[in-house]
Amino acid sequence: MTLPGTTRPAMTPDQIADALRRGLEPSRLHVNEPLAPFTTFRIGGPADVRFDATSADELAAAVSMARALDVPWFVLGLGANVLIGDRGVRGLVIRNRAQSHHIRKDGLLWSESGAIVQDLVLETVRLGWSGLEHYIGIPSTVGGALWQNLHFLSPAPERERTMFIAEPFISCEILDEDGARREVGPDYVQFGYDESVFHHHRDVVLSAQFQLDRRDPADLHRILQENLSWRGSRHPWLAVHPSAGSIFKKIEGVGAGRLIDQCGLKGFRVGDAQISHIHANILVNLGAATAADVRALIAHAQQAVVERFGHHLEPEIGFIGEF
């Protein structure tokens, strides 16, 4: 399978940027700049061209122009579920910073797809609206959340099931593969576990609507605090140890992290990439890790687990660009 961001455009980066300047804000076009600062792993080489879209209209315009120019394109949210190659991404990377949003009196939240879920959580909780509080502490834009069907455990003390962003989801506006803007609902999006139609169609989510319910803010704050404490004691802290969250897909009833742990790999390093001491399914960047380090560490964990337990660990994160 060809990785996104590896197809070489016919034009040079400067030619692409010149062509895009005719329709996009020039000050937000960047040529050959590293993507590492725009990922939670803090890893990744340069994008030929990067455009920072600040509204849904700009996001749609950037994708439409890239399509018209036959330039490969990729939409980047918070970069929390991707590993970008050391040699960077060919074509256009559109960094989605479209963050307008509003909440109606009946609890319908409309948000552009670049809004940061954590910001929406804090704002909705402050106003006494329930539905997003479960996702506190998870780095994601709204677009990335729909792409992956963002999920976390239901509130303490039960924690009896996984909750999904699909639950409050009502609809989203997409720019579809044919260039049309249209509103689609859950039937179209086909949410699954770590899954949605966006893994298979080259649609772009421009905005989304969620139905929230009234709840006592004190209750919501309790859930925020419990979820943050739960995460804080089980996951490496992103501000200290950059990562992309869980690296391997869940293995039902077994747990990818448990298998890696049972191979004695917690703390194992390749260069500056390390299997976290506190969660074996999370690889952390100790400072100067490269994408090559991370890939070698992934391969090492996969080999150890297949040899010892016969399970093949499948990466959950997206590999983008040239490695």
Binding site for ligand FAD (CB under 6 A): 40, 74-82, 96, 113, 138-141, 143-145, 147-148, 150-152, 198, 204-205, 238, 243-245, 318
In angstroms, the CA 230 to CA 215 distance is 22
In angstroms, the CA 120 to CA 102 distance is 10
CB of 307 to ligand FAD, least distance (A): 28
CB of 303 to ligand FAD, least distance (A): 24
Closest to ligand FAD by CB, 16 vs 244, is 244
Closest to ligand FAD by CB, 10 vs 239, is 239
CB of 16 to ligand FAD, least distance (A): 19
In angstroms, the CA 300 to CA 168 distance is 39
In angstroms, the CA 63 to CA 206 distance is 11
Closest to ligand FAD by CB, 165 vs 212, is 165
Specify burial of residue 128 (Cβ count, 10 A radius: 0-12, 13-18, 19+). Answer: middle
Closest to ligand FAD by CB, 72 vs 304, is 72
In angstroms, the CA 197 to CA 203 distance is 9
CB of 36 to ligand FAD, least distance (A): 13
What is each CA distance from 261 to 251, 283, 286, in whole angstroms?
A: 14, 12, 19
Phi/psi-derived region of residue 149, left when phi > 0, alpha when psi is between -120 and 50, beta in every other case: left
CB of 105 to ligand FAD, least distance (A): 27
Closest to ligand FAD by CB, 92 vs 204, is 204
Residue with token string 């929406």: 120
